[in-house]
Amino acid sequence: MISKLLIANRGEISCRIMRTAREMGVATVAVYSDADAKALHTRSADEAVHIGPSPAAESYLVGAKIIAAAKETGADAIHPGYGFLSENADFAQAVLDAGLIWVGPKPESIRAMGLKDAAKTLMMEAGVPVTPGYLGEDQSVGRLKAEADTIGYPVLIKAVAGGGGKGMRKVLAAADFEVDLQSCRREAKASFGNDEVLLEKWITCPRHIEVQVFGDTHGNVVHLFERDCSLQRRHQKVIEEAPAPGMDEATRAGICAAAVRAAKAVDYEGAGTIEFIADSSEGLRADRIFFMEMNTRLQVEHPVTEEITGVDLVEWQLRVASGEPIPLKQEELSINGHAIEARLYAEDPAKGFLPSTGRLDRYALPDTEYRVDSGVEEHSVISPFYDPMIAKIIVHEDNRNDAISAMLDALEGTAVWPVKSNAGFLYRASNSDAFKSGEFTTGFIGDQGESLIPSGEPDEEVLGQGARHLIEEYSNDSYHSRANEHLEGFRLNAQPRRSLLVQADGKDTEVSNVPYFGGHTYSSSATPGSALVTKNGESFVVRLPRYEGGAASAADGAILAPMPGKVIAVDVTEGDTVSSGQRLMVLEAMKMEHALTAPFDGTVTQLAASEGGQVQVEAVLCVVKPEEMDET
């Protein structure tokens, strides 16, 4: 058995592998870049080795540094995780040449599945059904256009070396083909250094079904059933589940047998995934499911397979890499219940899903029984250098309906602040009738459109629950005389005699009752006198208004940071007289400069920002006291 394992990855991936290694008594070595010096995976390993600057191209993607770290620490094996170098055949070979154990498939298997056209040819020879299309060597525009016309529109152009949705174009009509082909080739060349393409018939009601396979060095190959990964945004998976909704036993047997044939065709060892596209126009049928590609690594969504089979796939990887046979035979594997995984990302759905970076001042999940695979914790920093995943939330229940309910409960109380997250988006997707029916395609998110985008506005329930929390936490506090004045007449168990003034989203609101809706409320570490309320996955800060002597409310002249960033210029000092619209300071965030200006004529009474300082979202940077009006 492997004695010391270096994990050539970071974040959630590294932490996941580390957990199993620790349970097996295998020592672990983490590698980290400058940005990850204090990351959870760095601190969790038995040893950690610095491998370079923050950009992945200068650290996590430099195979020589990783192998050197393994040698330095005495590790006898390297696990690549998923992403980064996990499907790099040259790196796998270099690990083996260095006398180390490679926890993954043989380099020749990776190469065999690395190019989509060659892989499809190999699959056809193995009797695996493939999507009708063109795989020829003649890449001339004329030949490709003629083949597309024969296949019939719509047709899909795919880069042979593509992945992650790059180098793909759906062509609706013959007149669009040449323009779309040129665009696809440019993107493929820039992304993969290879502009060759293949053509496939566009499936009008596509479902993305994939099968988990596992092979060992003794010639054994098994499958661990299928997953449905149809909920995708721009070809990136969002929610995955196992088993696939609507999959009957005959169709399952057919697709899983095809997956095993595919793995055997490349003499596969370790964990891998055979991905299929299903034409679901008449339901799931074995004769309408076609091979797309093989992922020669562990997948991000592997937990749903683990949940329904009771198998630890990472443990299997380590055992097989150590020369042991697969622990279970095919007939010993079965499906138990239903599992769903949702990918929680640091991104802002309201702004086109732009990544959101900064420190997680609050990162809390409700206290329920479900699995969370995460590489961050409260106060961790979401870096702009890497994938913005915060966590994978995985639920497992006896049936699909119960699993959906469990996922909604989990997302309901997920609090992320001030970094934006897609929790509200995931909640809406999971709660939609189309998802609950199980009759959806890869076009689900596009079809649902704006209905999946959270409002971003706190409603009466959010404000009321925030008020309830503030009363309980601050009613005995001398926060400020004017704030206490509003608290004094408020009673939790009686009709309130007076209202409570609260502030959310920069607006002051009088709350005259305190409704309860079952959401979750947390004390907010962002600012004193505030509560973080979650509803349907959305997070809102509700606070007591701040007045002169503390920080003013926005309406009273507080200048708040609109997002996490760095103060690169301060143009005023305390006591300065300013006019409406005058620039006060400049904040740099997301590689853009944001000028913060005076809301009205007045005097700078407080200045909490300094040039070069880092600030969090909604931090009070300065306060402008308005000019006093002459009484007439």
Listed in sequence order, the DSSP H helices in 193-275 are: 249-265
- Token representation of residue 283: 């339901």
Nearest CA-CA partner of 423 in 498, 511, 519, 331:
519
Residue 585 CA, distance from chain mean position: 34
Cα–Cα distance, 188 to 210 (Å, whole number):
24
Cα–Cα distance, 9 to 75 (Å, whole number):
15
Q: Any catalytic annotation for residue 546?
A: no
Helix (H, G, I), strand (E, B) or coil at 349: helix
Nearest CA-CA partner of 221 in 275, 253, 258:
258
Q: Are 155 and 178 in contact (CB under 8 A)?
A: no
Residue 430 CA, distance from chain mean position: 15
Cα–Cα distance, 199 to 192 (Å, whole number):
18
Q: Are 541 and 530 in contact (CB under 8 A)?
A: yes
- Where is 43: in which H helix or E strand? helix 40-44
Of the candidates 111, 288, 297, 362, the residue annotated as catalytic is 297
Angle at the Cα of 92 from the Cα atoms of 86 and 95, rounded to 5 degrees? 120
32: left (phi over 0), alpha (psi -120 to 50) or beta: beta
Adjacent-strand bridge partners of 362: 417
Per-residue CA distances from 476 to 388, 464, 482, 486, 490 (Å): 40, 19, 14, 12, 12
343: number of Cβ within 10 Å: 21
Nearest CA-CA partner of 195 in 119, 144, 130:
144
Q: Which residues are catalytic?
A: 297
